[in-house]
């Protein structure tokens, strides 16, 4: 596994900021790390990257223990913290050259810097001091720095913070493309961002992992009853729905559209197809509705 976290704990005096959490993230996976403010997201990311020592438990990156091999971990991790630490008096290229020197990138660094500037859309701003940039462009500089040394693992804490809608779409696509051959763990409060980028969601609340699964499975698991929206080509007698054994209840929405509530959406879907054949009913569309990711998040975090 690219990231392996086992019983990781962080105490501040008597307060448990992170409470014995465990999870894995494999290569090629973009995992969303979600939680309300103060849940322990940033603390966990800092421990994985070696910026903060754990009280107990272990974290490893690409097989290297963060506590035992911190320099090996940092070679393989690109990190963008929530509070993007930049040197405002440096010019963009100067700062990236400085970062390349820290990573001892050598002769190939100049081309890599230009590639990152182009990739993150910094071309028109690269001649400016970082302090003169907008918040969105400062964020792009931070992303360039995180990806500069071509790390195997990217840890991104609120990577699109401060970006305008067009920039958000561009950075999402960039992260998705990067995630094809790397490991990405990203934190965000924007649910659309998670659904657009992530193959998996890890939700933390009060320092503990409360969910870890794909978006689809989380939505299904948190919905005790699912709704099947059925659009028919013509009107039918409501009594026909009494033939369906997997329906909890049903109601007409408007015209030929019906809402069927069920505990077994996939079983009902199959049953409806056979029911339509038996009763010569033509179906225009059929869609299972589940809870939104935002509703799942609120349910799990008690907000």
pLDDT > 70: percent of the chain: 97
Residues 118 and 34: their CA atoms lie apart, in Å, by 30
Boundaries of every domain in the chain: 3-213, 224-290
Say how many residues make up the chain: 303
| Nearest residue to 5 (alpha-carbon basis) of 191, 14, 37, 40 | 40
Q: Are 206 and 37 in contact (CB under 8 A)?
A: no
State the helix-helix crossing angle for 135-147 and 109-119, rounded to 10 degrees: 140
Residues 191 and 142: their CA atoms lie apart, in Å, by 22
Residues ≥6 apart with Cβ < 8 Å to 86: 95, 130, 138, 141, 142
Task: Pull the structure tokens for residue 113.
Answer: 């810097």
Query: What is the CATH number assigned to the segment(s) 3-213?
Result: 3.40.50.300
- Condensed to tens digits (0 to 9), the pLDDT of residues 212-244 reads 998 888 876 655 567 888 999 998 888 899 899
- Condensed to tens digits (0 to 9), the pLDDT of residues 237-274 reads 888 998 999 898 898 888 899 988 888 888 888 999 99
Q: Is the pTM of the predicted complex or chain greater than 0.85?
A: no
- Condensed to tens digits (0 to 9), the pLDDT of residues 76-110 reads 999 998 888 899 999 999 999 999 999 999 888 99
| DSSP secondary structure letter of residue 70 | H
Q: What is the pLDDT of residue 292?
A: 76
Residues ≥6 apart with Cβ < 8 Å to 154: 77, 78, 79, 80, 146, 147, 175, 178, 179, 182, 183, 184, 185, 186
Matching CATH topology for 3-213 and 224-290?
A: no
Q: Are 183 and 73 in contact (CB under 8 A)?
A: no
Provide mean pLDDT across the span 9-22: 93
Say yes or no: domain 224-290 is CATH 3.40.50.300.
no
């Amino acid at each position: 596994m690219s990231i392996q976290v086992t019983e990781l704990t962080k105490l501040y005096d008597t307060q448990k900021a992170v409470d014995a959490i465990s999870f894995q993230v494999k290569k090629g996976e973009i995992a969303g790390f979600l939680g309300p403010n103060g849940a322990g997201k940033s603390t966990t990311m800092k421990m994985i990257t070696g910026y903060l020592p754990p009280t107990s438990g272990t974290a490893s990156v690409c097989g290297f223990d963060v506590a035992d091999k911190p320099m090996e971990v940092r070679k393989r991790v690109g990190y963008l913290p929530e509070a993007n630490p930049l040197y405002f008096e440096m010019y963009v290229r100067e700062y990236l050259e400085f970062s390349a020197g820290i990573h001892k990138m050598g002769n190939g660094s100049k081309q890599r810097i230009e590639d990152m500037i182009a990739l993150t859309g910094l071309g028109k701003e690269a001649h400016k001091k970082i302090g003169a940039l907008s918040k969105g462009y400062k964020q792009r500089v931070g992303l360039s720095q995180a990806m500069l040394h071509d790390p195997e693992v990217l840890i991104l804490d609120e990577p699109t913070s401060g970006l305008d809608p067009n920039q958000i779409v561009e950075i999402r696509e960039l992260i998705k493309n990067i995630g094809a051959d790397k490991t990405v763990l990203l934190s965000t409060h924007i649910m659309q961002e998670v659904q657009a980028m992530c193959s998996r969601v890890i939700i933390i609340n009060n320092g503990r992992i409360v969910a870890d699964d794909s978006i689809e499975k989380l939505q299904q698991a948190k919905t005790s009853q699912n709704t099947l929206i059925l659009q028919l080509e013509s009107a039918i007698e409501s009594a026909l729905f009494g033939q369906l054994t997997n329906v909890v209840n049903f109601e007409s929405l408007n015209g030929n559209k019906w809402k069927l509530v069920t505990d077994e959406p996939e079983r009902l879907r199959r049953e409806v197809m056979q029911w339509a054949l038996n009763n010569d009913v033509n179906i225009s569309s059929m869609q299972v509705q589940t809870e939104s990711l935002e509703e799942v998040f609120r349910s799990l975090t008690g907000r």
